[in-house]
A and B are shown apart, each in its own frame.
Chain A
Amino acid sequence: MNATDRHQKRGSVKRNDTFARRVVPALTLIGVSGGLLAALDRPSDGLETAVGPPLTTGTGATTVTVLPTTVPGSDPATTATTVAGTQNPATPTPAPTVAPVVETTVPPAPTPVSCGGMIPGPTIDTKYGPVQVQASVDGTGYVCSAQGVVWPTRDRESVDINNQAVPLLDQWAAYQHDASFSSISGATYTSKAYKQSLQAIIDAARA
């Protein structure tokens, strides 16, 4: 009703106001947000994991057995980025020759590791059901490979989730060579139990 009075309340809009002056704070915020985003956005797991985890070898001619050559102490972040980049099927540039990228990220003299056979870990109970892992580790607790053997299958939802999550966890374990990887989102309980079971194997191997 008192529409012009409303306007009075809207802050002092002075005649010398310009659009530029009023829009600067918002634009500044957009700039800061963009910078913050660029600084923060470095997912260490998850998306790449969900799409195609770093364990499996590359596609086609780029096939390089990447991960077994990684050793403890090498920077997993660097390797992960590179691997994700080279084997992403969506990458439009085909690499007809053997990709040299991996060689640059892998230390020249990998320490030889000797892993034994698969050792079963303890069964961990979650509220959805038990989880058990078997893994081959060396004497220092270095994980060569791991495999979920028991996981919750009580209902269809559990089956669906774990059919996706357990292979990812296997790959993460073999990629990271320990049990310190992040949980798979959407399968937190299985992930935690998986890591707990794997950690028990590692601890036993070290002892």
Chain B
Amino acid sequence: MLTMDDITLDDDVVSSDRTIPAPPASPMRRPRPSRLTDNDIAAALAAYVLVITGIWSVHGGLADLGAGWASAWTSITALSGLYTSAVALMALVLVARPKSLERRFGLDRMFVWHRVLGDSMGLLLGLHVFAAVVAWTADSGVKNALIDLTGGTPYMALATVGAALIGVVTITSLKSIRQKLAYETWYFVHMLAYAGMAISFGHEIYLGSDLANDTVARWFWVGAHAMVVALLIVSRWGRTAVAFVRPLRVSSIRHVNHDTVDIVVTGRGLRAREGDAGQFCFVRPLASGLWWQSHPFSMSAAPTVGRIRFTIKDRGDATRSITALKPGTRVMVEGPFGVVTPDVLDGAKALFVVGGVGVAPVLAMLERLGPDHEPVVLYRAHSEKDLVHLDDLRAAAERLGGRLLTLVGPTAKLAVSDPFSARVLSAAIPDVADRAVVMCGPDRLLHAARAGLRAAGVPKSRIHSEHSWW
């Protein structure tokens, strides 16, 4: 029988621990799988390419290629211009993170494609500008061509500045330069691509003879741009706006070792979300000095409709300020995102290869496994004190008939030279070849483990990880 004393006691415990009591844990609705098939994507891409090439071709683009020097270059200008924008639109579709694509491919692959599309767009833009100068030079001489193309013709000043902006964005995204810049410096410059595309739009419609003289083509073009902008508003900026309007709050923050914290965030906004163990969120604390940075963090417990837990390691940079957040701080959380969830195991026995704080998503996934999975967790860390949630991990693995293997120490001091060689893996885990593997950790560990696992007979299709994409 419940007495008044019990309730009081309970309230005391809660309030001493967290400022906001955690609601009862009912699991978050799982993401519905994407219904998009390879055929859908191939068909859409083929139609897109066909229509754009068609717009160019029906206005004589193909015939002009053989109609003399100046015509050929004019025609190349038109085609490369159309494709510069077409490729840019595809890159923007990826930026919008539509759920159908995200759930099928994962953000990491989408970002790689975005980069490839961005590079292609840069090259196409270079060709477009070069071809335009050549074609106009044939018409009116170099001097007039340059005057006309940089502002003598309406919308061309805008297009010139737009091209310059896209050029800067492309160059700052080259790997060698990108690595020298702080992430946010690069990010804010990258945003100028929107401006570059927007101010270049006028010359496409006004001067692009394929579009200027053909109402149908023009409406297709305007419509394609409008659809991508609508997608960006609904899917990307809309989600950010919702995260801002209905922020979550830090309900508790607890040190699990000398440099790692568990942060629990709660809020009513979670009820509408879909998420699963193994996924990550973009976290932007609305606190002074942090509001302008958004970082991805894995959830370290299966998300519920009431709370999400992150396990975050202090790396001596911005994460340090995140580890010092106070309970009650508002936090913008976007997501969850990610395709590596317990579903990828497909019922097979599981092996988790974990490095350092990569343990977070594994903690979450273990909550969702059954005894069939007999999970083995291979936990690599530099020192004993870097191992976090060790007891939770061991308890979860053993409850399911699996076990926890730890591998601690600097690489040079390990007993075996390559702990992820096929020989070592097979000796430690005799049935390794039958298992589905999920890897979470730094890139170096992923590469080493992937090579060893492949050699030990694990098929590529059963090795799962999400890569760092920047």
Contact = CB atoms under 8 A, between A and B. Distances in A.
A157 B60 CA distance: 13
Contact of B157 (A1, A30, A40, A182): A40
Contact of B442 (A2, A127, A183, A188): A2
Contacts of A157: 213-214
B241 interface: no
Interface in B407-459: 438-443, 446
B465 A7 contact: no
Interface in A3-21: 3-15, 17-19
A173 B317 CA distance: 67
Interface in A92-108: none
A124 B169 CA distance: 46
A4 B360 contact: yes
A1 B182 contact: no
Contacts of A30: 192, 195
Nearest to A34: B161
Given A1-B358, A43-B154, A12 B207 contact: no
A29 B442 contact: no
Given A4-B297, A5-B443, 10 more contacts: A1-B361, A1-B439, A1-B465, A3-B296, A11-B185, A11-B186, A14-B317, A33-B195, A185-B153, A192-B139
Contacts of A192: 139
Contacts of B355: 2
13 contacts: A1-B298, A2-B355, A4-B296, A5-B443, A11-B182, A11-B185, A13-B183, A18-B289, A26-B188, A40-B150, A42-B152, A185-B209, A186-B212
A185 B340 CA distance: 53
Contacts of A8: 315, 317, 442
A68 B235 CA distance: 58
- Chain B's interface size range is 35 or more
B181 interface: yes
Interface string B209-223: 100111000000000
Nearest to B438: A1
Contacts of A138: none
A149 interface: no
A161 interface: yes
Contact of A2 (B148, B212, B295, B441): B441
Interface string B315-353: 101111100000000000000001010000000000000
Q: How large is the interface on A (under 10, 10 to 19, 20 to 34, 35 or more residues)?
A: 35 or more
B209 to A, nearest CB: 5
Contact of A19 (B147, B207, B292): B292
B22 interface: no
Contacts of B267: none
A182 B139 CA distance: 9
A109 interface: no
A4 B209 contact: no
Interface string A182-194: 1101101000100
Contacts of B209: 185-186, 188
A192 B71 CA distance: 12
Nearest to B135: A188
A207 interface: no
A47 interface: yes
A13 B316 CA distance: 9
B405 to A, nearest CB: 19
A40 B165 contact: no
Contacts of A11: 179, 181-186
B168 A29 contact: yes
Contact of B313 (A4, A17, A33): A4
Contacts of B289: 18
B312 A17 contact: no
Contacts of A6: 296, 468-470
Contact of B67 (A5, A7, A127, A188): A127
Contacts of B446: 2
Given A17-B318, A43-B153, A182-B148, A9 B468 contact: yes
A13 B313 contact: no
A9 B153 CA distance: 44
A13 B154 contact: no
A139 to B, nearest CB: 27
B140 interface: yes
Contact of A26 (B192, B295, B338): B192
Contacts of A90: none
B164 interface: yes
Interface in B387-407: none
Interface string A42-61: 11111100000000000000
Given A182-B153, A185-B206, A4 B298 contact: yes
B148 to A, nearest CB: 6
B469 A22 contact: no
B468 A5 contact: yes
Contacts of B74: 188
B160 interface: yes
Interface string B123-164: 000000000000000011000100110111111111011001
